[in-house]
Amino acid sequence: MSMSRNRITTLIVGAGHPLAELMSELESQFSPPELPLLGVIDLDPEAKAAAGQNPGSDRISVLGHTLEDLSGDVAPELVVLAGCDEATRTALGRRLPDSLQLEHRSAPLLAIVTRLADENRALRADSRRLKEARLRLRQFVETAPLSIYIKDTDLRYRHLNQHALLLFGFDEESVVGKTDHTLFPSGNVRWLQNVEQETLRSGQTHYATGILPVRERETHVHVTLFPIVENQKIEGLYGLVEDTTDLFVSEQKLQQVDGQLDETQKYLREVLENSKDMIFLTDPQGRILTFNSGAENALGYPRDEVVGRPAHELCSTPGAFDKLFEEAILDGHATRYEAEFLDRNGDSIICNISLTKIDDHQGMPLEVVCLCRDITTRLRLKNDLIRSERLAAVGQMASGVAHEINNPLAVIDTIAGLVEETLAADAPQLAPETRDILMKSMNRLHYQVKRCTSITHSLLGFVRNTKTGMVKVDLEALLDECLNVLGIEIRRSRAEIVRMFSTELPTFISDPMLLQQVFVNLIKNALDAIAEVPDRAGVIEITTSGNGDHLTVTIQDNGVGIAKQEQEKVFDLFHTTKPAGRGTGLGLSIVHDILYRLGGSVRLVSEEGQWSRFVIELPMKPPETPLPDPTSMTF
C-alpha cells in the first residue's frame, strides 16, 4: 500500500501493547486536524495474521506489518516508535535516514512537533505566495504604462522601471543609490521630497502635483506615493509618476479659450444690453426671460415688470405674434417687417421683428431671441416722402390750373373795367342808390379778381418755391375780411361768430394772402363740423392774443369733433374726416405747409362729438428767408 508524500508526514512503527497504548493515547488527546497525516507499521505477528486489522483506530491507516511494506515514495518527517527493538530502529535509520525518531513515551512532544511542522508548512506556503506576489509586483512595475520608482528610507533610488528612466532621461546605473539632490541640483524637486518624507513618516498614501526639471524643460507630473512595509516596518516607498504636461498645456489652452469665450460673452452682453434696438429672450412658451435697455427705453416698461410675462402682451395683436412665434419654434427663424407693439402709455410702436430659436445640446428648444428694430420714424418719413411726392404732383397740377384760371380772371377784370367806364359815362342817367350799389359791386369784383389772382400766384409760388409777399398785416382786419368772404355760408349755417380780439395787438410782417387762405380754410372746416350736428346751435369762437414774440389765433367750434386716433393724421396729405365726396384731404395739409413756410405752426385739440380747437401761432417777424416748401424737401 502506498501513500503520496503530501498525505504522510508522520509514521508510527510498533507492536503489541506499547503500540496499542500509543494509539489509544493519540485517539484521546488529538483530533484529526491536529495530526491529519498518520500511518502505522504494526510489527505484531498476530496482527499480521489478522490481515491488516487496525490496532487502535479506524481513522489511522495500517501501511503494513514489516518495514518492507513501506513504499519507496514514503518519506515521513517523523517516526514514532512503540515497542520496537534496537534492530528495528537501526533498520528504520537506514531506510529513512532523514526522518526523526521518537519513542512512544514522548506523545506530548509529538504533539508539539506536529504543530511546529504544520506551522513550518504554513510558513513555507506563505513564503511561496509572497515570492509569487513579489514576482507579480515586479512584473507590474516593469510592464505598467507608468513611470515607477522605488526609494529607501533615506530617499535614495533603489530601482526605476523603463518608463521612469525614459521620463527622467537617466540610465539605472547612474541613478541607483543617489538622491534627488544629486540628480536635480537646482532644488526644483523640494516639493516632491517633502511629500515623500510625509509618506515615510505617516505610513499612508499621498498624492501631489508639481513640476520636474526633466531634460532642460519643465515637466508637469502627478505623483502617487505609498510606503513599502515589511514585518510591520517601513522599508521604503513606491512612487508612481504620470506625465501631465500635455494635459496641463491642454488645460491652459482650454482656460485661454474659456477666457476668450467669457470676454466674447461679456462683449456680446454689453452689445445686446446697450443696443438701441429692442432685444429680449423668451422661453419656449413665450415668457420673457431678459429685457434689454433698448426695449425699456422704447416701450417704457422697467425690466422687472415684464420678465415672466408672455411676450404677446406687448403687441397690439397678440394672435399675430403667437403665430409668428410658432413659426420660429417650428422652422428656427421667423421675421415680419411691420409688427405693432404698444408702449406703456398705449402708443403704437412699429417694429421690424426677427425671431430666432436656440436649441440645447439635445436639439430641444431652449430660448427664442426676439430682435425688434423701431421703424416708426422710418415709416413716418416714408409716409412724408409719399406725401411730398403727392403734394408735388398736386403742385404741378395746380400750376396748370392756375395758368388756366388766370386767363378768365383777366377777362373778368377787363369786363369789370368796361362796366366801370360805362357807369361813369351814364352816371347822370342812373339813380344815385343804383349807381352806388353798382360801383361798390364793381370794386368788390375787382378785389375778388385780385384775390383769385393772388391765390393762383400762391399756388405757382408753392410749385416754383418763390418768395412770398411780406407786408405789414393788421390781424383783426384780416380776420374780418375772411369772415366777409364766407358771409353767405355763415348766414346759411346760422352759426354764431364770437369775436374775442385783443385790442393791443400790433401789426406784424407776413403774407396776408397766404394767411387769408389759412383762416378761410379753418373757418370753412368749422362751419362743416357744425353742419354735422344740426340739432345744436352752432358757435365759432375766434380769439387773438400776443406775447411780444408771437401772435396766437384760436378758432374753436362746437361741431362734431375729431376722434383721437384721427387727430395725428388730420394734417396728412389726402387725409380727411369728412364724408365721401365732401373732402379732398388738401385743406389742412396746405394750412400746415403755409404756416411752416411763414415760420408759424398749427396744432389741434378736440373732444370727439363736442368741439374742436385749432391754435395758430405766427411770429412777429417771419424768417429772413422763407422756409422751403415741404413738397420740395428730400429725405
Q: In terms of pLDDT, which residue wins out, 624 or 481?
A: 481
> For residue 361, is pLDDT > 50?
yes
pLDDT given at position 310: 92
Provide the 3-class DSSP secondary structure of residue 128: helix
Share of the chain above pLDDT 90, in %: 12
Report CA-CA distances (Å) from 264 to 164, 260, 327, 582. Answer: 43, 6, 30, 63
pLDDT at 577 over 80: no
| Residue 497: band (very low, low, confident or very high) from pLDDT cuts 50, 70, 90 | very high
| Beta bridge partner(s), residue 542 | 499, 555
Q: pLDDT tens across 151-179, in order?
A: 899 999 888 888 888 887 788 888 888 88
Q: What is the mean pLDDT of residues 90-115?
A: 71
Residue-level pLDDT at 405: 78
Percent of the chain beyond pLDDT 70? 78
Out of 75-79, 263-267, 517-521, 584-588, the most confident range is 517-521
Per the CB < 8 A criterion, the answer to whether 279 and 371 are in contact is: yes
Q: What is the pLDDT of residues 204-260, one digit of tens each?
A: 999 998 888 877 778 888 899 989 888 888 989 988 888 888 888 888 888 888 888
Residue 5 pLDDT > 70, yes or no?
no
Model pLDDT for residues 379-408, shown as the tens digit of each residue = 777 766 666 666 666 666 666 676 677 778
Q: What pLDDT does 335 receive?
A: 87
Amino acid residing at 604: L
Please determine whether the domains at 144-243 and 275-374 fall in the same fold group of CATH: yes
Helices and strands (H and E) in the chain: how many:
19, 22
Q: Please report which confidence band the pLDDT of residue 626 belongs to, taking 50, 70 and 90 as the band edges.
A: low
pLDDT surpassing 80 at residue 417: no
The CATH number corresponding to 144-243 among 3.30.450.20, 3.40.190.10, 3.10.20.30, 3.40.50.2300 equals: 3.30.450.20
Q: Average model confidence (pLDDT) for the chain?
A: 78
Residue 165 half-sphere exposure toward CB, CA atoms < 13 A? 14
| Conformational region of residue 370, where left means phi above 0, alpha means psi within -120 to 50, and beta covers everything else | beta
Query: Roughly how many angstroms between the first and final C-alpha of the chain, as a whole number?
Result: 127
Q: What is the reported pLDDT for 471?
A: 87
CA quadruple 170, 172, 176, 179: dihedral, nearest 10: 10
pLDDT band for 285, please (50, 70, 90 cuts): very high
CATH architecture of 467-632: 2-Layer Sandwich (3.30)
Alpha-carbon distance 588 to 51, whole Å?
149
Question: Confidence band (pLDDT; 50, 70, 90) for 105?
Answer: low
The SS3 of residue 471 is: strand
Which residues touch 515 (CB under 8 Å, ≥6 apart)?
A: 473, 478, 594, 598, 618
Greater confidence (64 vs 476) lies with 476
The pLDDT assigned to 50 comes to: 44
Q: Where are the domains of the chain?
A: 10-122, 144-243, 275-374, 375-452, 467-632
Q: Which residues, at least 6 apart from 260, have a Cβ–Cβ distance to it below 8 Å?
A: none
What CATH number labels 10-122? 3.40.50
Least confident residue range of 410-414, 510-514, 573-577, 627-631: 627-631
pLDDT, tens only, 10-60 = 788 888 888 887 777 766 655 544 454 557 888 877 755 443 444 545 556
Q: Is the pLDDT of residue 436 over 60?
A: yes
The number of residues making up the chain comes to: 635
Which H helix or E strand runs over 62?
strand 61-64
User: How many CA atoms lie within 13 Å of 148's alpha carbon, on the beta-carbon side?
Assistant: 14
Task: Give percent helix, percent strand, percent coil of the chain, each to the nearest 5.
Answer: 50, 25, 30
CA dihedral of 499, 552, 565, 523, whole degrees rounded to 10: 40
Residue 590: predicted pLDDT: 79
CB burial string 258-293: b at 16+ within 10 A, e below: eeeeeeeeeeeeeebeeeebbbbbbeeebebebbbe
DSSP string across 70-97 = S-TT---SEEEEES--HHHHHHHHHH-T
Q: Report which listed range, 52-66, 354-368, 435-449, is most confident.
A: 354-368
Would you say 390 and 304 are in contact if contact means Cβ atoms under 8 Å apart?
Answer: no
Quote the pLDDT of residue 496: 92
pTM for the model: 0.37
The grid coordinates of residue 11 equal 509514521
Give kind and range of the element (H or E) at residue 288: strand 288-291
Contacts of 57 (CB under 8 A, 6+ apart): 23, 26, 27
Which of the four CATH numbers 3.30.230.10, 3.30.1330.20, 3.30.450.20, 3.40.50.720 does domain 275-374 have? Answer: 3.30.450.20
What is the C-alpha to C-alpha distance for residues 602 and 69, in angstroms, rounded to an integer?
145
- pLDDT for position 132: 73
Is the four-CA dihedral 282, 286, 287, 291 of positive or negative sign?
positive
**Residue 152: how many CB atoms within 10 A of its CB?**
14
